[in-house]
Amino acid sequence: DIRSLAECLDQIDGGIDVDYEVLIANNNPKHRLHIEEVTTKAKKKPQVIHSDKNIGFGSAQNILARKARAKVFFILNPDVTQISIEADTIKLLESGSHQGIIAPQVFDRSGNVERWSSGDEVTPLSTIQKKLLAPKKRKHLNKTNVGWVTGAAFFITKDAYVNVGGFDESFFLYFEDVDLCRRVREMDYEVCIDPSCSVTHLAGTSKDSDESQDAYYAQAQKYYFTKYYGRFVGAMMSQLRAIQKKY
C-alpha cells in the first residue's frame, strides 16, 4: 500500500535517532511510478530496487542486504507505523554482542500485542498444540529471548545475516522469518524481543486475498517441516492442515 509506505518513511525519520540509509525493494512493477513519487518527498531519499515481478519477501531482502552498507539491518514492512526505537538497542548490536536479532514489541491496530509477532521454536508438536489451544498474546516487560520474531520488524547484525546466508529464497511468503531465526540461533546468536522499542503493524496491506494467503502459508509450512524434519513429517503436517481447514 503506497499510503502505508509514505507514513512508514515519515515514521523512520522521526523514530530512529542514529545515522541510517533506507533501501526499498519494490516487488510490484505497477507501483514503480507511485513509489518514486513517494520517495522523492522523503526527508532522506531511499534507494529503490525494482523487480519485474514479485520475487518474494526473502529474495527481495537478500538483494537489499547485498547493497546495504550498515553493520545492522532493520528489516521492516511498509505497513509498519508508530516506530519508536532506542538508539542503545542499535548500539548494542553494533558492539558485536552475541545478540544476532533484536525485535521491537509489535502491536496491532487496536494497540494489543500482535498475536503472531513472536514465539517459541516451531516444531510439529508445538504446531499441533497451537491448533488445539489458541496462542497467548505475550507482552514482554523485559528483554526476552524467543524462538522467532515476525519479519514485519526486526534488527539483525550484518555478520549474523551473512553467516547464515540470509533468507532462504525457497520461501516465497510466510515462515521465512521463523526459518531465519532458527538458523541464527543455531549459529549461537540470540534472538530476542526488546520492549523498549515498539512498532504498530497494520498487517494485510501487501497480500492479495485470504485464499492466496492460505495457499502461500500451506506451501511454506510444508517446506519448513520438510527442511527440518524430513519429507514424511512435511507431508503429514500438510495433511493435518488440509484436514483442519476442511472441518
Taking 80 as the threshold, does the pLDDT of residue 240 lie above it? Answer: yes
* The pLDDT value given to residue 136: 61
Residue 167: CB atoms within 10 Å: 23
Least confident range of 17-31, 168-182, 200-214: 200-214
| Residues of the chain above pLDDT 70, percent | 93
Taking 80 as the threshold, does the pLDDT of residue 216 lie above it? Answer: yes
Taking 60 as the threshold, does the pLDDT of residue 206 lie above it? Answer: no
Residue whose C-alpha cell reads 509450512 in the numeric block: 221
Taking 90 as the threshold, does the pLDDT of residue 181 lie above it? Answer: yes
Task: Name the band, by pLDDT with cuts 50, 70 and 90, for residue 213.
Answer: confident
Residue 208: phi and psi, rounded to 5, are -80, -50
Q: Which three cell numbers stand for residue 233?
A: 513429517
* The pLDDT value given to residue 137: 61
Whether this prediction's pTM lies above 0.85 is answered by yes
Average model confidence (pLDDT) for the chain? Answer: 89
Task: Name the band, by pLDDT with cuts 50, 70 and 90, for residue 135.
Answer: low
* The pLDDT value given to residue 174: 95
d(CA 145, CA 101): 10
* The pLDDT value given to residue 134: 61
| Average pLDDT value for residue range 41-60 | 92
Q: What residue spans of the chain are helical by DSSP H?
A: 2-15, 32-40, 57-67, 87-94, 124-132, 158-164, 176-186, 210-229, 231-246
